[in-house]
């Protein structure tokens, strides 16, 4: 516990307001570099194609999905597993490294298109991690312990663009303990 507190304390040096509240400058620089890489992932044709198909219409089962139904799904449920087995899910898996705690792709309305592992929420519409990318901006969240992974992380979200227009969002959670070791 003491080592964990010391690690957290080392991360919580104040910054000039850029990036996540409390990230020390060297760690923020690593997050910034990864954010640029994540933007290139969001521009991949596999990602764009998946978001466009999702935005064109969902199967009835997914169109009727609610947060309550989503939370009740096991990670092994075929509905949930389809999101990490689809082409975009496999693309995200091909980009995974030890620094990536989670990644999920959402369509224009915030509902999931693909992910590495089942996130806590079915839709992030109305939350900055989705709404900022849908406004064409990169978003970075605060230091947090993620509900679905249990890891201390910072999330970065980028827009998925088609012809310069946001059509979805890609959120990637970066493990702070792994990032600090890079």
Q: What is the per-residue pLDDT across 136-147, written as a single tens digit (0 to 9) for each?
A: 999 999 999 877
Q: Is the pLDDT of residue 10 over 50?
A: no
**How much is the pTM?**
0.86
Is residue 167 within 8 A of residue 160, CB to CB? The reply is yes
C-alpha 2/C-alpha 10 separation (Å) is 12
Please list the alpha-helical segments (H only) found in 43-148.
Answer: 45-56, 60-63, 67-72, 78-85, 87-95, 128-134
Is residue 141 within 8 A of residue 20, CB to CB? The reply is yes
Other beta carbons within 10 Å of 147: 9
Q: Which residue has the tokens 């303990």?
A: 177
Residue 37, pLDDT score:
96
Confidence band, pLDDT 50/70/90 cuts, at residue 15: very low
Q: Is the pLDDT of residue 151 over 80?
A: no
Which residues, listed in sequence order, are joined to residue 91 by a DSSP beta bridge?
none
Going by C-alpha positions, the residue among 63, 24, 52, 36 that lies closest to residue 143 is: 24
Q: What does pLDDT average to over the chain?
A: 87
Which residues, listed in sequence order, are joined to residue 172 by a DSSP beta bridge?
103, 156
Which residues, listed in sequence order, are joined to residue 159 by a DSSP beta bridge?
169
Other beta carbons within 10 Å of 165: 11
């Amino acid at each position: 516990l003491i080592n964990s507190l010391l690690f957290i304390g080392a991360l919580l040096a104040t910054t000039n307001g850029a990036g996540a509240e409390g990230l020390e400058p060297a760690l923020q620089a690593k997050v910034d570099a990864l954010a640029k890489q994540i933007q290139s992932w969001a521009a991949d044709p596999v990602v764009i194609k998946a978001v466009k198909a999702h935005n064109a219409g969902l199967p009835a089962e997914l169109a009727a999905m609610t947060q309550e139904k989503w939370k009740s799904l096991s990670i092994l449920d075929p509905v949930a597993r389809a999101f990490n087995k689809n082409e975009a899910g496999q693309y995200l898996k091909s980009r995974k490294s030890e620094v990536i705690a989670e990644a999920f792709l959402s369509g224009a309305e915030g509902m999931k298109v693909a992910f590495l592992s089942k996130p806590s929420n079915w839709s992030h519409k109305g939350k900055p991690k989705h709404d900022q990318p849908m406004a064409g901006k990169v978003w970075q969240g605060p230091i947090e312990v993620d509900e679905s992974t249990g890891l201390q992380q910072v999330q970065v979200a980028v827009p998925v663009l088609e012809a310069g227009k946001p059509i979805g969002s890609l959120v990637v959670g970066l493990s702070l303990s792994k990032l600090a070791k890079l």
